[in-house]
Amino acid sequence: MVLNFEKELLISQLKKAKPKKVLVQMAEGIKQNSPEISNIIESLGIEVTFSGETCWGACSIGVQEAQALGVDLIVHFGHAEFIKIDFPVIYMEVQDILNLQPILKKSIPVLKEYKNIGLSYSIQHRHDIEMIKKFYESHGKKVTLSHKAGTNAYEGHITGCEYRGLREIQDEVECFVIIGNQFHSMGAVLGVQKPVILVDVYNDSVRSMAGLRDKILKQRAFSIERLREAKNVGIIVEVKPGQKFGNPRKLLEKFKAAGKTAIVITMSELTPDKIMNFYSIDAFVELACPRIALDDFAKYNKPILTMREALVALGEKSWDEIIEQGIV
């Protein structure tokens, strides 16, 4: 796999911004390219510092790091803009340069029963999306790109926690095709009611996500029941600007009204070791990234739930309603 960091675009944007010092954030899979990026930025006479904090999305913009270091600008590699923040940021999306023809051809037999398909992609494949769309159309498919909705930056673009653009077109399509990896397709299958087919360009496979959906729904139902039974509840809030879902104080009062003891806990990042010392807490509700509860279920010895799942446990929403609206 070859990565295109769009060097000339980076240089152009830096010359326009004229920073003296920058903080560079890189997605986890591309941190190994830090020396290359450092050479480019330093060649412009700019002081550069790299963030070593985990970075799974543009929801994790390192504003606090940048302010502590006194930099003028953040350069964020690997994601599109997610939300507006009160700090200068340049987003470099990074392109995966791949020959997609073999995997696209492999997907045709899997899609043989579908005429109308919804098409979405992770940001690394935006430069190829018109080619992909034309490929499927040449094989008799009617292709509809998911809408630009919520925090998605472009038509057809999806992030790990934003699937409204898919839901807006699901009545028009028979299935969804996701170009990328399991992370985005797993979110998609929990966010829509139509079949989701993953075209996994990194593992050279094409597969339905239906089985995974059923497994995750059973896990989530189990966690909701554990929260119903819990006496002590921890409500976790994170300080990252793009990871704030729900009002912790309102949720705290709801749990107290239900006869539970609840506390609010703040973290820069939720990890299994950080909650171990809260051993008296029976269940946690995290108001940060909703994918933590879904993806990292097996890592925690206590149930971790999303805000919406907490409302099911409290009796304010039904489980069927959550499934219909999309868990993510």
Q: What is the CA angle 222-59-43, rounded to 5? A: 145
Percent of the chain with pLDDT over 70: 99
CATH 3.40.50.11860 domain extents, the chain: 213-325
Backbone Cα Rg of the chain: 21
pLDDT, tens digit, 9 for 90 and up, residues 215-231: 999 999 999 999 999 99
184 has a pLDDT exceeding 80: yes
| Residue 229 CB neighbours (<10 A) | 10
Q: What is the pTM of this model?
A: 0.91
CATH 3.40.50.11850 domain extents, the chain: 101-208
CATH architecture, domain defined by 2-94? 3-Layer(aba) Sandwich (3.40)
How far, in Å, CA of 215 to CA of 254, rounded?
29
244 has a pLDDT exceeding 80: no
1 has a pLDDT exceeding 80: no
Is the domain spanning 213-325 CATH 3.30.565.10? The answer is: no
How far, in Å, CA of 232 to CA of 261, rounded?
5
pLDDT, tens digit, 9 for 90 and up, residues 26-52: 999 899 999 999 999 999 999 999 999
pLDDT, averaged across the chain: 93
CATH architecture, domain defined by 101-208? 3-Layer(aba) Sandwich (3.40)
Q: What is the mean pLDDT of residues 304-322?
A: 93
CATH 3.40.50.11840 domain extents, the chain: 2-94
b/e 237-263 (16+ beta carbons within 10 angstroms → b)? bbebbbbebbebeebbebbeeeebebe
How far, in Å, CA of 145 to CA of 119, rounded?
5
How far, in Å, CA of 115 to CA of 290, rounded?
32
Q: Categorize the per-residue pLDDT at 242 as very low, low, confident or very high, splitting at 50, 70 and 90.
A: low
pLDDT score of 60: 86
Q: What is the mean pLDDT of residues 74-99?
A: 95
Lowest mean pLDDT among 39-43, 138-142, 271-275: 271-275
Q: What is the mean pLDDT of residues 158-165?
A: 91
